[in-house]
Structure 1
């Protein structure tokens, strides 16, 4: 029997790389991963031997802003399952590059889905939107369910509203099995250092090795977040496409532990032998013009449909994140910026 084929856009990212590892361990699927020719492959280090041997993992080169490259990659992959994870995913960056963000995330999603409509219309497709679509939510609407009004608070969030609606449109207009998720804060090893908790962990790791002064630079510490582990997130995404997929369905997914960004920092500091030496300093460049400051999900709909529940404790997630940065700083520390 021929193995199923899966197409992962953004395979070199935190989520994409963890998802590929999950699929290797838990399925017999062949994995076709879309990446840009210049994308770092660090996150795929556990899969390099398979990629070189062409053993179940294959890289396809393309860019969400290049229609022909997307059409070519989709035609080569001929997928049964699709995880569209690739995006310009940094909210703070989107204030400086709004047009690039819109093109990559909205038009890029159109390019992917239209190529699939032409060559793999029967594929089961996951389109990854974001909890940022909800943006500025009043307290009385917490926890946030799927029908909460969109009030995006960044160009990135606006682009993810477009991504969300494009996915649902292709399901309704063309009968494609497209499902959309709004994943709330998810983190762990390989989290990009442009995200708050990851830059905290990176700075702490650099302080521990005396590469920078004992000062952690921060933005808004008052935002409320619900934290999930990336490894729980990819398990959720697998269940999304394999447990009775529903055309046009959309789900909120997230963890159980809600706290402020400041409390996340406190937890990370509690793991460090240097905690008593470290000062906190607000860096104006790390503040967004406006912020989505109440991000607490109601995940009942997804959990009822799939049976998924988060399993990895909050403290383990943050400890693993800090240990990830300790490892990287130990081997590469002198080349890091403190962004």
Structure 2
């Protein structure tokens, strides 16, 4: 039996990952998630424990008892905007917690496969080329979040070098889906639209820079990529890096237009100065050819259906009593 540990399990991606792992490996693996928040209703075949990666002693005790064969490390402060506002907290969560996890993993008799979820954001200024980037591109991160992820990759290569633990680095690009926080652009648009429809806010939405193009994926496609790599880990070389992306950038303006076409009421669009973020990256897209070659993975979600799910989730939240 495999023993799969998911960190950050109570977060947006973690909830989807725990459910998908429990279904994919039903009867062949034990799936346990850990995180700081509460999980709520657990999917069949999964368990959850409240545990902070910064609590080194408790983490080490748990890992020693569970003895994971595979770790999917999702725990991070993942909003670029929030990371920029809280750099100290970002470095503590994204590097200290990661180091604690790596140390705990190396202490067990059979060190696990460690799937480190980094980010496509690590490429940073390399995106100025305008072309979809492969894993061969040298990262040029800018900002607390991308820097912490890039240094996390490098730190793991160093501390795990003399360990039998296998390291796989994952670089997902922008992903969206039900349950995402409104600090992220598509969830923000959907949330504002849903509240306009519910009559709880005036008929306009506030936006930032609409001209940038980004590489978006459905959360189910991203989690599907994680599962495919976990399933085939024996065939992967330690230290391998995989982009998870569509290769098809969309302008933020076009995403808003697609959501607008699904809205039940008309609304205005207003530029909000506090939502404008200084950015010299006009286009950010990736090349997932290595992942496709390794596992056969390709994005499968239909874009309109992805947005429909996001908007339906936002409408459900807007209808909750007492929700602003």
Q: Give the TM interval when normalised to the shorter protein.
A: over 0.9
Once the two structures are TM-superposed, the CA of residue 121 in structure 1 deviates from its matched residue by 4.1
Partner of residue 182 from structure 2, selected from 193, 212, 220: 193
Partner of 1:335: 323
1:219 corresponds to: 208
Equivalent pairs, count: 320
Match of 1:266 among 245, 257, 269: 257
Task: For residue 240 of structure 1, report the CA deviation from its aligned partner.
Answer: 1.2
Q: CA deviation at 1:184?
A: 0.6
1:301 aligned onto 2:286: no
1:27 maps to 2:15: no
Matches within 5 A, 1:51-200: 56-119=45-108, 121-140=110-129, 142-200=131-189
| Distance change >3 Å, CA 273–CA 184, structure 1 → 2 | same
Aligned partners of 1:218 and 1:286 also within 8 Å: yes
Q: Which deviates more from structure 2 when the two are superposed, residues 162-171 or residues 78-87?
A: 162-171
Listed one character per residue, the Cα deviations across residues 276-311 of structure 1 (whole Å, up to 9, x for unaligned) are x31111222223344654220011011111111111
Instruction: Name the CA distance, whole Å, in 1 between partners of 2:247 and 2:137.
Output: 19
Q: Secondary structure at the match of 1:137?
A: helix
Are the structure 2 counterparts of residues 141 and 282 from structure 1 closer, same or farther at C-alpha, using a change threshold of 3 Å? closer
Alpha-carbon contact 1:153-1:292 (below 8 Å) kept:
no
Q: Contact between 1:228 and 1:256, CA under 8 Å: does it hold in 2?
A: no
Q: Distance in 1 between matches of 2:307 and 2:85?
A: 29
Give the whole-Å Cα distance in 2 for the aligned partners of 1:149 and 1:141.
15
- Following TM superposition, by how much is the alpha carbon of 1:100 offset from its aligned partner in structure 2, in angstroms? 0.7
Give me the whole-angstrom Cα distance separating, in 2, the residues matched to 1:58 and 1:140.
44
- Cα shift readout 1:248-292 (whole Å, capped 9, x = no counterpart): 111111125421111111111111121xx3111122222334465
1:281 to 263, 270, 276: 270
Which residue matches 1:53?
none
Contact 1:79-1:120 at 8 Å conserved across structures: no
Moved more, 13-22 or 118-127: 118-127
Tell me if the contact between 1:90 and 1:156 (Cα under 8 Å) persists in the aligned partners. Answer: yes
Compared CA separation, residues 292 and 155, structure 1 to 2 (3 A): farther
Q: Distance in 2 between matches of 1:111 and 1:291?
A: 35
Change (3 A) 1:167 1:293: farther
Aligned-partner SS, 2:168:
strand
Structure 2, unaligned runs of 5 or more: none
Q: Which runs of 5+ in 1 are unaligned?
A: 51-55
Alignment RMSD (CA, Å): 1.8
Query: Counterpart in 1 of 2:41?
Result: 45
* TM-score, with length taken from structure 2: 0.93
How big is each residue's C-alpha offset from its partner over 1:28-62, in whole Å with a ceiling of 9 and x where there is no partner?
221111111xx143xx5353xx5xxxxx3222222
Q: Once the two structures are superposed, what CA deviation does each residue of 1:143-194 show, in whole Å capped at 9, x if it has no partner?
A: 1111222222321111111122223334434242110011011111111111
User: 3-state DSSP class of the match of 2:215?
Assistant: strand
Checking the alignment, whether the CA contact within 8 Å between 1:78 and 1:119 is kept in structure 2 is yes
SS at match of 1:99: helix
In the other structure, the counterpart of 2:231 is 242
- Whole-angstrom CA distance in 1 between matches of 2:94 and 2:71: 16
